[in-house]
């Protein structure tokens, strides 16, 4: 029986976090798989020393719009297949999706949309959620095990943000977004972190304004989900609160393998 460690981090710009010691942090932690969101860079714009890291495959999904969105997956284990979207152009163009097949499981690295900009973007976010769930369900219905990680841009319950009442009309904690999360879990998926930690004040994002991180006034927006059948292979799910460099911190999961 082996173990695989997977980390997920919204870096809020790969070039920005690179200047803040990203490579040293990466080499120190040595995850088997690292999923990044909001890289804000094309493959050409990735700094050379993190474009090719010994022992890792790198898959990059870049947005058509420059300096926007973007995801990247570093992996010691080479996936048997990689997809960069749901097959729906309006979602795939934003570089938010990398789906890697590792045979024992399919890993979704996703930067879900933010709905704060406008009613149109909120609708885009909700449509993206539905397209994602449809795609994941089809794989699950075929008997595949699924791991989903990334910045989901919604706090599920009141325990998942510091000021729930004050934010109940803000995208990220709207009733419609929270209801979608309820629907998602009803389809047979599990919020892995809450299987191991039921405590309040467990956050992954803090506004840069008002020294929110120092005061731990945050939101839990970054998750690892699995289909419930796979949960018995999950050994731990955690938040790396002390890792700096972004307005988000990394989250992680350790899973047992059959090898």
Respond yes or no: is residue 151 known to be catalytic: yes
Rg, Å, the chain Cα set: 17
Q: Is 77 exposed, middle or buried (0-12, 13-18, 19+ CB in 10 A)?
A: middle
Of 101, 104, 141, 151, which residue is the catalytic one? 151
Single out the residue of 86, 125, 88 nearest to residue 108, CA to CA.
Answer: 86
Tell how many helices (H) and how many strands (E) occur in the chain: 8, 14
- Report the alpha-carbon distance of residue 249 to residue 240 in Å, rounded: 6
211: three-class secondary structure by DSSP: helix
Q: Are 29 and 6 in contact (CB under 8 A)?
A: no
Detail the DSSP E strand segments found in 11-151. Answer: 33-37, 57-61, 71-75, 81-83, 97-101, 106-111, 146-151
Q: Which residues are catalytic?
A: 151
């Amino acid at each position: 029986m082996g173990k695989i460690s997977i980390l997920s981090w919204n870096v809020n710009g790969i070039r920005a976090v690179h200047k803040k010691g990203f490579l040293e942090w990466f080499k120190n932690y040595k995850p088997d798989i690292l999923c990044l969101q909001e890289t804000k860079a094309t493959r050409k714009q990735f700094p050379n020393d993190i474009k090719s890291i010994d022992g890792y495959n790198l898959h990059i999904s870049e947005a058509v719009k420059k300096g926007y969105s973007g995801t990247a997956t570093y992996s010691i284990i080479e996936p048997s297949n990689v997809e960069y979207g749901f097959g729906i152009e309006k979602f795939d163009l934003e570089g938010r999706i990398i789906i890697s097949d590792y045979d024992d499981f399919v890993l979704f690295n996703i930067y879900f949309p933010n709905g704060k900009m406008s009613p149109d973007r909120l609708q885009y976010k909700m449509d993206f959620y539905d397209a994602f769930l449809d795609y994941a369900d089809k794989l699950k219905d075929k008997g595949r095990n699924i791991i989903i990680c990334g910045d989901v841009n919604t706090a599920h319950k009141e325990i998942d943000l510091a000021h729930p009442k004050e934010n109940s009309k803000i995208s990220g904690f709207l009733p419609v977004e929270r209801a979608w999360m309820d629907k998602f879990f009803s389809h047979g998926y599990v919020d892995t972190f809450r299987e191991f930690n039921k405590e309040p004040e467990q956050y992954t994002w803090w506004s840069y304004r008002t020294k929110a991180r120092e005061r731990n006034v945050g939101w839990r927006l970054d998750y690892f989900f699995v289909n419930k059948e796979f949960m018995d292979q999950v050994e731990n799910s955690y938040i790396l609160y002390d890792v700096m460099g972004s307005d988000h911190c990394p989250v992680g999961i350790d899973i047992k393998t059959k090898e």
